[in-house]
Amino acid sequence: MMTLKIREFHAGDHIHTEQTAVRYLQVAMEEADKAETSRQGAAIIADALGEVARAQRHMSAIASDADRSRSGIYKALSNQGDPALSTVISAVHAAGGSLTVTVAH
């Protein structure tokens, strides 16, 4: 009998370019807009930022830019996190992106 070992899926394992990172964050923002509550939307965005940051190994830079500890950044950028705006901005910049606002249709 063969035993199958299943690894936990991490989107960050598949993010290898800045363009992929930015597109992943765009999709996360679209999903967050559809969330039932703003807290759920924030969790979607925080988790996506964490995946991108881990994929690009920028956690230390984000922690420094946001004036937070590295462990605090890991917690903030998780699906349980509620990051400060400075943390969000630092993570987006580390991924090669920028924040923009558009009119919702």
d(CA 42, CA 33): 9
Q: How is the chain split into domains, by residue range? A: 17-94
- pLDDT, residue 12, reads 78
Give the CA radius of gyration of the chain.
15
d(CA 30, CA 17): 20
Instruction: Kindly state the DSSP code that residue 44 receives in the 8-state scheme.
Output: H
- pLDDT, residue 31, reads 94
23 token code pair = 């597109």
Nearest CA among 92, 27, 21 for reference residue 55? 21
Tens-of-pLDDT digits for all 105 residues of the chain?
778 888 887 787 888 888 888 899 889 999 999 999 988 998 999 899 888 888 877 788 888 887 888 888 888 888 887 888 888 888 888 777 788 888 877
- pLDDT, residue 6, reads 84
